[in-house]
A = this chain, B = another copy of it.
Amino acid sequence: MTTADVKACVFDVFGTLVDWRGGVAREAAAFLQSHGRSAQEADAFADAWRAQYQPAMQRVRSGERPFTKLDVLHRENLEVVLREFGIDAEQVEATELDDLNLAWHRLDPWPDTVDGLARLKSQYIIAPLSNGNVRLMIDMAKHGGLPWDAILGAEVAQAYKPSPEAYLRTAEILALSPAEVCMVAAHNSDLAAAQKCGLRTAFIARHHEHGASQTTDLQPEGNWDWVAGDLVDLAKQLGV
């Protein structure tokens, strides 16, 4: 695949660029301990919170509710998870839950992420195409040093991936044809949706996104334009 036509790389973020499970578990451990629970439950807490992610967005995609940004969905989902863990949300200060909700704003990048993005930025427009909202992406970028050219994604497009509008409106805002935009993700389903919209695709396996016993997205499962070991490898394949 020639890189000649690609003008922008857009990125999935949770899992592809940052370690959401480790970051959320770290803050959940402190929260659980301060409420008389074991820090050992933190990974399960992070997984349970993430398990509410797709169903919450599905209610927006289906039209059941108007577009609602991810910070709001995460905060609602947090109360669901607290119930699952037998913690009475009414007995916790709202400000403490609001702060725990911001764990998603403080996720750490994978070791190769910042270097890879900086390389790609030298030749391409780089922007997140995440379901995370703009403020979440800004805070995460300031926390981890992600050198974005712009913050795009679900909130700007007013549509959640994998809805086609999320990809197509992002290309339109960039004033590019879909084929001039490369979607970079660690999730085959994201790339499949992007490819259907005419975007180029790059797969990066993240074998530990879901912990040591991960079973999904270990391999490319489609005819992706590029498959890379990490973001620095992808930059090299894309000529920078």
Q: Could you list which residues of chain A lie within 8 angstroms of chain B, going by C-beta atoms? A: 71, 125, 133-135, 137-138, 141-142, 148-152, 155-156, 173-175
Contacts and interface: CB of A to CB of B under 8 A. Distances in A.
A135 B174 contact: yes
Contact of A137 (B134, B142, B150): B150
Contacts of A138: 125, 149-150, 174
Nearest to A150: B151
13 contacts: A71-B175, A133-B175, A134-B150, A134-B152, A135-B174, A135-B175, A137-B150, A138-B149, A138-B150, A148-B149, A150-B151, A151-B151, A156-B156
Closest 4 CB pairs of A and B: A150-B151, A135-B175, A134-B173, A138-B149
A134 B42 CA distance: 40
A212 B210 CA distance: 62
Contacts of A173: 133-135, 155
Nearest to A72: B175
Taken together, the copies of this chain in the complex come to 2
Nearest to A176: B135
Contacts of A152: 134
Contacts of A151: 149-151
A107 to B, nearest CB: 17
- The listed residue with most B CB atoms (<10 A of its CB), out of A125, A134, A152, A155, is A134
Contacts of A175: 71, 133, 135
Contacts of A149: 138, 141-142, 148, 151
Most buried by B among A142, A173, A174: A173
Contacts of A156: 156
Given A125-B138, A137-B150, A149-B151, 5 more contacts: A134-B173, A138-B149, A141-B149, A142-B149, A150-B151
A173 B134 CA distance: 7
Nearest to A142: B149
Contacts of A133: 173, 175
B134 A174 contact: yes
Contacts of A155: 173
Contacts of A174: 134-135, 138
A168 to B, nearest CB: 15
